[in-house]
Amino acid sequence: MKFEPLGDFLKKAPYHITEITLSFDQIELLIGVKLPDSEDDRAYWANDRTHSIAKAWLSAGWKTVSVELNQKYVVFEKDK
C-alpha cells in the first residue's frame, strides 16, 4: 500500500507523544511519492476509512485533528 510508510511512522512514535504535526513535504518523503493535487482539499485529510491515505493513520491508531491547507501541514492525534 502506497501510504503504509505513513502508518508505520505513526505507529513507531514514542508512547508519550500524543500529537504529531507533519508537513505535506514530510509526508511525501515518508511515502516516497508526491501527494495528489487533492491534498489541497480538506476532505482528502478526513478520517474516512474509504480513503486509502486515511486508512494508514487510522489503522495506526491516529486521527487528523487539524489541517492547514495554506501552510501545507496536518496535525495527527493518537486516537483514544
- 10-19 confidence digits (pLDDT tens): 999 999 999 9
Q: How far apart are CA 78 and CA 76, in angstroms?
A: 7
> H/E/C letters for each residue in the chain?
CCCHHHHHHHHCCCCCCCEEEEEHHHHHHHHCCCCCHHHHCHHHHCCCCCCHHHHHHHHCCEEEEEEECCCCEEEEEECC
Residues in the chain: 80
- 54-79 confidence digits (pLDDT tens): 999 999 999 999 999 999 999 999 98
Q: What is the pLDDT of residue 80?
A: 76
Per-residue pLDDT at 23 exceeds 90 = yes
Q: How far apart are CA 62 and CA 56, in angstroms?
A: 9
